[in-house]
Structures are given as structure tokens and as C-alpha cells.
Structure 1
Amino acid sequence: MADQPRVDDAGESPLAELELILESDPLIDEVGFIHPTQLASLSEEGVDAPPGPKNLRFWSRDRKLGISTEVVLPLYKEAKRAFFDAVRDYKTRRGSCGDGGGDGGIGSDVMKHSKALLLVSSDFGTAWNSRKLVASKKECFSMYMDELRLSELILSHSPKCEQAWSHRRWVIKRIAGQTSSLLEIVMKESELVEQIAERLKMNYRAWNHRCWLVSYMTREQVLDELKKSKTWASLHVADSSSFNYRRRLMTMILEDLCCKDGVASHDCSFEVYQLWKDELNWDEILINRYIGREALWLYRRFLSLCWIRHFTTHADSMSWNSNYIAEQTTEASVFLDKELDLVGSCLVVQDAHFDDFQAQALYSTTYILWLAKQMSKPLEIELRQKLTARNMNNLLREFCPNSSFLCGSSAEDTEVTRAAQGQK
């Protein structure tokens, strides 16, 4: 446990008091803003808390920092003033010495005051940029790790702070060629995102950061992330960001398959094929389990589009065994039948009093109409024919009456059938 710092020497300045606390315990990992009455009760519990009124402004114990809401405004004003003074001195020193700050004393003032400023104003872009400037002049790995710790501390109370997430990406880019532990850092970043996403749902910025990390992962890490994130996505089916992350992982796997010298081995190709098939089945299970969740249908669009483009229409360009070639000849028809079975079950509104069933029917309708537009003409004709054979056109018109795909007359439907028969 970190000892509570003695702040009597800091005087009455809230900035000096805060900076003394931060300097005494550089491993603080969480910060929060607390009402003065709550802060007083916390201070009474801490045996190491110093006496006097100053302990009503800050509280620090067990790597946690509490800041009184009453001191935020004066602290911000003082930190801002001290920060800009330090920046001016730093630029003057750089101009006169031409070495990025000489002995680093002025640069350390910029880092110290900007840290305090960012704790109370996390979106202060100038402070973030100044830290980038000083860190880039030092090119010190330990300083970059300090930047990761600081941004993580700020994210503990401002998890949607875009500046903090952007700063982390900047740091990772800087250290990418300096350390052999980059892969370990990337995996810790991924775990951090999941922890923050668990505390605050629908955090697009956090998930966007996690998607960005995929480009630094190895194939084994991508597969591991795909496996680990499956449980989380299953429990948060309304959070489309988690499915966007899985989309990024799946895309990375597919790119790795298609871009290896333009030739993919049979084992690798079949592995990706099976992975995609399992993902489609898993998504169907979730759709049937959680009624009316749009994120699941949007994710299915991605999976289906890749399936059509890479595992049906272009399958003859890949190296498959003879058994799989025979299976592939009917793969498109089997895929359409499965999708129509899914959509048909979703079009049955079991209880009109619940909006979820109506939403499920609408999402399934727009999905199958969207899917038709992505197919080649022969497959589109086949889809029309299957819809007519299943008597699904009227049901689809009920939920999407203005669709041009469903507005044809019976004569046009007959013509489509004839065209399909002619192709056979």
C-alpha cells in the first residue's frame, strides 16, 4: 500500500498538492471525482491521512486517487496557467539551445503540469500534443511506457476520451520498432479495452482502438482474440462495436489467406472455410436466441457477403480436394436454402404486442433483399424462384412494401421462372 503523502510542504496550492501526490505514488491506476462530504468520510477511514483541511481536497490510498469536486475549477485554472508558462519556457530553451530542452528540466515541467491538467481536463489537446513533443525529443522507452500509464489513468474516469485513445496509438507506433515485447503490449491493450467496455457499454472509441490493434497481431493472436471475444459478444448482443471487432478479426484472417503470394494452401483455405461456416452458424444461434437485435443482422451481412465472394463464386479458383469440389457445386444453393429457412422463421410474428418480433421480421426482410442485390444474376434468379416456391413474397411485401425487388407482377415472376429453367 502506498503511503499517503505529507502535503504540508505543498502550501495552499491545489496544484502543488496534487503534483506531490502524483510524484509520491507514480503507480496510481485509478482516479475519481468525489463530493466533499464523501471525501471527508474517506479521509476519516485512512489512518495515514494528514490532519487539517487540505485532506478534504484529495485522497490517495491503495493506488487510488480521489479529487474533491470543489477543487476541480481552481485546480484547472492553476494547472492551465502553469502548463502554458512551462511550454513557453520549453520553446525558448529549445530555440536557444537547439537540443530539445537542454538538460530536460524545462521539459519535465511541461510533463508534470500537463499531467495534472489532463487529469481534470482530459480532452485538452494542446497538453497531449506537448507531451508528444517532449517524448519524441527524448525517444526514451520508459517515457513512452509512462505515457501509456498516464492515458490509462485518465481513461479510468474518462473512458470515452478520444484524445487518450489517440495518444495510446501514437505511443504504440513510436515503440513498434524499439521493443521485442510489442506483441505482449498489444495483448495487454486488448485486455484493457475489454475491461473498459465491461464498465461502460457502447464505447465505440475503445472498440475502435481494439480494431486498430489487429494490424499488429500475429495470425495466432488473431485466432486467439476471435475465440476469447466470442463469449463477450454472446453476452452483449446489442453492442455492435464488439461485432465490428470480430469483423475486423475475420477480415484479417481472410486477407492473410488471399495475400500470401496470391496462393493459399489447401489446409489453410479449408481452415478459413470452416471458420466462416462456424461463425455463420453461431450468428444464427444468437439471432434465434435474442429476438430483434440489429447488430446480429448487420454482422450476418458481412459474413454472407464474404461467403458469397470467397467460398461460392470464386471457389473454383482455389485448391480444394475432390470431395470438396463436389460439395462446392451446390454450395450456393445450400447457402440460399439455409438463409431462407432463417428468414422464414423470423417472418412469423409470434406476438404482435412485442416490438422485438416486429423488429426481427423487418431486419430479416431487409437482410434477404440486401442479399439479393449482392448476388450474381443467376443466383438472384434462383433466389426469386425459391421465394416464389416458398410463398414468401407476400410476407416480405408486408414488411417492405416499397421494395422494387418484390414489386414485380405475376407475369414477371413467371418470366423469372422461365429464365431459371432455361439456364438449367
Structure 2
Amino acid sequence: MGQGSCSQEDCFNLLNLFEHVLESDPLIDEVGFIHPSQFTLLDKEARSSNDGTSASFWNQDHKLGISTDILIQLCRVAKHAFLAAFKEYKRHENASSESLTENISSGVSCCSLVSKVMKHSQVVLLLSSDFGTAWNARKLILSKQNQPLEAFTEELRLSRLILSNCPKSEPTWSHRRWIIKMISRSFSTPQDIILESRSQEHKVIITNSNSLLL
């Protein structure tokens, strides 16, 4: 697949595949862009075949490689999907505030829209960490009341993942500082924040390990 040569259907399939890769390995801690010719070399170094399901992504030992050959089309379709979901989310929120939720023809639940916005924005930010609209959308959703701490610790994990590839990304560092401030509202000391964050990460590891046994 060449740069920019993706049909609409193929591009959405590519987005779905990438989101599946991210969901199937919640412990990914490093991401990078690699040339397609390097996939075979990486497999040889790992002494195993690619855990992914296409030549577009490489996933081994919680390290994720994205082919440079599909960056443009993947970023384009991810932004389109994110903006569409975010627009529908805001429409749903506005209707809810006016007690007109029943008049929304799509019938999509708020939880479903939140999931789509968070899922698509994650892809966008992994590919383009300076896309402010995606960061603002995540802040808007996370600012809602009664958010579990797990949602914020997951956000810290995402920011670390993005920084593994873009260590000087100021929007990512800014978002990370905002998340820490949000967490600090519920805990009195930095030590408490660190301990609780590690506890949440440990739960993710246990959950992932149990799923592998099923």
C-alpha cells in the first residue's frame, strides 16, 4: 500500500486493525515509526513471527512499530473518525442539557460516543501528538464528574507511550501535568498519587494476564 493510495473502505479497515492492536495489548510501552523493509529484520531479531495481523504494524514484547508506508492515510482516516465522533458527542451533550436527548435520530448512547471519541483520539495523538482538538476532547470527557481514577492513570500511560516516540511534545507534557493535577484533587500527597497509579497499572497487568489464560 503506497502513501495516500488507500480507498475509503481500506483506510477504515486499517484504522480498525490498528485500534484492535492497541486494545489487544494494553501493556504497550513504546511506539515508533518504521520502514516496511524493517519488519522482517525485527522478526528475525525477535526470533518469532509478527504478533500483528498485517505488514502495517509490528507488535512484540509490548513494543509497537507502525509502518511509515501507511502514516498519511491512517492519520487522515483517524482524524476524520475522531472529528465525526466528537461532533456527535457534543451534539448529544447539548441535547441532553436541553432535555431533548430523545430527539436525536442516531439513538447512539453517550457511553458509546465517549468510547469512540477516546478510541479515535488515541490513534490520532499517537500519530500526531500536537493535534490540540484531540487533547481538548479528552480533557472535556475526563472533566465530567465521577470519573474513576483508572481513567486518569490510563491517560498517564497514554502520555508515556506518546512520549516514547515524541519526547519533546509540549502538548503531551501539558496534558500529563493536567492529569496529575486532576488526580491530586483526590489524594493528599504525591506519594499517594504514585502508589495509586502503580496499583492501577498492576490491576491492568493482572487483568491482561488472566485474559491470556482464558
TM over 0.5: yes
Which residue number in structure 1 is paired with residue 41 of structure 2? 41
**How big is the shift at 1:56?**
1.6
Gaps of 5+ in 2: 1-8, 100-107, 198-214
User: Would the alpha carbon gap of residues 48 and 11 (structure 1) be closer, same or farther in structure 2, given more than 3 Å must change?
Assistant: same
State the 4+ residue runs in structure 1 displaced beyond 6 angstroms. Answer: none
**How big is the shift at 1:172?**
1.1
Which residue number in structure 2 is paired with residue 401 of structure 1? none
SS where residue 167 of structure 2 aligns? coil
**How big is the shift at 1:61?**
1.3
Gaps of 5+ in 1: 1-9, 190-424
SS where residue 22 of structure 1 aligns? helix
CA–CA distance in structure 2, aligned partners of residues 169 and 42 of structure 1: 35
User: Would the alpha carbon gap of residues 48 and 69 (structure 1) be closer, same or farther in structure 2, given more than 3 Å must change?
Assistant: closer
Name the aligned partner's letter for residue 178 of structure 1. S
Which residue number in structure 1 is paired with residue 24 of structure 2? 24
Instruction: Note if contact 1:79-1:114 (Cα within 8 Å) is conserved in structure 2.
Output: yes
Instruction: Note if contact 1:43-1:55 (Cα within 8 Å) is conserved in structure 2.
Output: no
CA–CA distance in structure 1, aligned partners of residues 148 and 190 of structure 2: 15
CA–CA distance in structure 2, aligned partners of residues 32 and 146 of structure 1: 20
2:164 is the alignment partner of 1:171: no
Name the aligned partner's letter for residue 87 of structure 2. R
Bigger Rg over Cα:
1
Q: TM-score if structure 1 supplies the norm length? A: 0.39
Which residue number in structure 2 is paired with residue 56 of structure 1? 55
CA–CA distance in structure 2, aligned partners of residues 134 and 154 of structure 1: 20
Which residue number in structure 2 is paired with residue 104 of structure 1? 111
Instruction: Note if contact 1:58-1:65 (Cα within 8 Å) is conserved in structure 2.
Output: yes
User: Would the alpha carbon gap of residues 39 and 47 (structure 1) be closer, same or farther in structure 2, given more than 3 Å must change?
Assistant: closer
Query: Deviation string for 1:156-201 (max 9, x for gaps)?
Result: 00000000100011111111121356325469x9xxxxxxxxxxxx
Instruction: Note if contact 2:22-2:28 (Cα within 8 Å) is conserved in structure 1.
Output: yes
**How big is the shift at 1:11?**
7.0
Structure that is richer in helix per residue: 1
Instruction: Note if contact 1:11-1:17 (Cα within 8 Å) is conserved in structure 2.
Output: no
User: Would the alpha carbon gap of residues 43 and 82 (structure 1) be closer, same or farther in structure 2, given more than 3 Å must change?
Assistant: farther
CA–CA distance in structure 2, aligned partners of residues 18 and 137 of structure 1: 28
Instruction: Note if contact 2:129-2:162 (Cα within 8 Å) is conserved in structure 1.
Output: yes
**What is the RMSD computed on CA atoms of the aligned residues?**
2.6
Name the aligned partner's letter for residue 24 of structure 2. S
Higher RCO structure, 1 or 2 (CA under 8 Å, sep 6+) = 2
* Number of aligned residues: 176
2:94 is the alignment partner of 1:87: no
User: Would the alpha carbon gap of residues 155 and 120 (structure 1) be closer, same or farther in structure 2, given more than 3 Å must change?
Assistant: same
Q: TM-score if structure 2 supplies the norm length? A: 0.74
CA–CA distance in structure 1, aligned partners of residues 134 and 184 of structure 2: 23
